Structure formats: C-alpha cells, structure tokens
C-alpha cells in the first residue's frame, strides 16, 4: 500500500513539474491572482533596453512585454496590439504616440523575424533601438534647423499689429485713420492683401524648407536601408 501511495505521489510531482507555466489554462487561471502594477514612463529607449536585458537573462519576448506592461496576457504571444499598448504606456513625456506606435511595430516585426529565421531576438531588438536612436537624432536636428525660421516668421507676422498698438499708445490714433477715413480704408485693404500674400509666400517657403530637410534625412535613411538589404542578401 505504501509503495502504491509513493508511486502516485511521484507521478503527481512529475506531472506538476512537466506542466508548462505558459499553458493557456494556467495562464488564464493566474490572471485573477496577479495584480496589475503601475508602470512609469521610462521612455522608449529605456523600454527597449529593459526588454533586451530581460531576454538576455533567459526570458522570452512575451514575458518581457508582460514585465513592461505590469500584467500578464492571456496567451504567450507577441502581437502588434500588445506591443503598441505597452510602448504607449512606457513612452516619455517628450515622445509622441506616433513614435511609440512605430517602435511597437518594429518590435513586433523583430520578434517575427527572430521566430521565422532563428536569429537572436536581442540582436533584432538592438537593431530596433539603433533605428529609433537615429530617427530621434534626425527629428531633433530637423527641429533645431526649423526653430529659427519659425521664430522669425512669428515675429514678422505680429509686427503690423504691434506697430498699430504702439501708434495707439503714442496717441497717433492709427485705428481712427484706418477705419474712419477713405484713404485709411484703402491703405488697410492694400495692407491686408499684401499681408495675406506675404503669409502665403512665407508658408510656401517654410514647407519647401521642411521638405528639403526631411528629404535629405529620408534619403540618408533609405541609403542605409538599401545598403543593409544588399549586405543581407
């Protein structure tokens, strides 16, 4: 009798040890026992580094996403929707939702490439982190290049209103002249027309400058991508 009980206990122990923790039933049962932790906005670069460190220490990509999300998912799978949710909650205050979605898509593609080709997930995530760092650098340089022209345009756009306000403060009464006399109305109409034409012209120049800066940046990125594709082939 004791031998039978010992055999049954040994079988139960072996069965429990072989029961995979990633099985759907056990994961669903464990969802109610795990409290959702509050997550901090560490930034996308820090989130990618944390995910790589988790996988490097023996974890899985889905486990890394759960760690970043502060909760468990129903299935052990990396999906684009889960990645978008995780990186949207982890992005910094100076990062946009579009940047979070772009990084999430890259992470999802990196995990799929790792699964299909058998390459290391950490190396794929390192490529994603390097790509994000380059894109942030390009965006920062573009913002610095456009900051001075935008400030100049704002100053010049407000100059007519400031001139009229200063005239009123000095007692010249430019508003009475502009709205109360025929020559003033003529000057006001001509000035408004020139002002509108000037704003449209400056807006076209700013759009062209923005396209030139973005085109040079995009061309460099495309060149790097094409070189990387030729090297991979």
- Helix, coil or strand: residue 80: helix
- Give pLDDT tens digits for 155-201: 888 888 888 888 888 888 888 888 888 888 898 899 889 888 988 88
Q: Predicted confidence band at 84 (pLDDT cuts at 50, 70, 90)?
A: very high
Following CA atoms 150, 153, 157, 162 in sequence, which dihedral angle do they give, to the nearest 10 degrees? 90
Assess contact for 159 and 165: CB atoms under 8 A: no
Q: Residue 35 has what pLDDT?
A: 46
- φ/ψ of 73, rounded to 5, equals -100, 165
Distances (CA, A) of 97 to 3, 81, 93: 63, 14, 10
- To the question of pTM greater than 0.75 for the whole model, the response is no
CA-to-CA distance for 134 and 125, rounded, in angstroms?
Answer: 14
Q: Give the residue-averaged pLDDT of 76-98.
A: 89
- Give pLDDT tens digits for 26-50: 444 444 444 445 567 888 999 999 9
CA triple 196-198-200, angle to 5 deg: 70
Assess contact for 100 and 81: CB atoms under 8 A: no
90 is written with which tokens? 């982890």
Q: Residue 184 has what pLDDT?
A: 85
Q: Residue 9 has what pLDDT?
A: 56
98 is written with which tokens? 């579009």
Q: Residue 32 has what pLDDT?
A: 43
CA-nearest of 201, 211, 43, 189 to 129 is 43
The length of the chain in residues reads 233
- Give residue for tokens 């790589």: 52
């Amino acid at each position: 009798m004791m031998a039978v009980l010992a055999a049954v206990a040994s079988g139960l122990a072996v069965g429990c040890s072989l029961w995979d923790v990633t099985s759907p039933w056990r994961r669903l049962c464990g969802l109610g026992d795990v409290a959702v932790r509050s997550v901090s906005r560490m930034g996308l670069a820090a989130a990618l580094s944390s995910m790589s460190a988790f996988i490097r220490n023996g974890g899985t990509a889905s486990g890394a996403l759960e760690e970043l999300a502060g909760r468990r998912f129903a299935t052990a799978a990396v999906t684009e929707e889960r990645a978008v949710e995780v990186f949207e909650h982890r992005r910094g205050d100076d990062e946009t939702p579009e940047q979070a979605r772009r990084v999430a898509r890259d992470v999802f593609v990196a995990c799929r490439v790792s699964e299909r080709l058998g390459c290391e997930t950490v190396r794929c995530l390192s490529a994603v982190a390097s790509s994000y760092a380059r894109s942030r650098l390009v965006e920062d340089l573009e913002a610095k290049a456009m900051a001075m022209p935008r400030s100049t345009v704002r100053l010049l756009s407000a100059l007519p209103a400031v001139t009229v306000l200063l005239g009123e403060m000095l007692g010249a009464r430019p508003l009475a002249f502009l709205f109360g006399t025929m020559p003033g109305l003529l000057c006001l109409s001509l000035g408004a027309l020139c002002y509108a034409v000037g704003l449209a012209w400056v807006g076209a120049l700013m759009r062209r400058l923005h396209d030139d800066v973005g085109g040079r940046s995009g061309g460099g990125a495309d060149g790097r991508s094409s070189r990387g594709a030729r090297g991979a082939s």
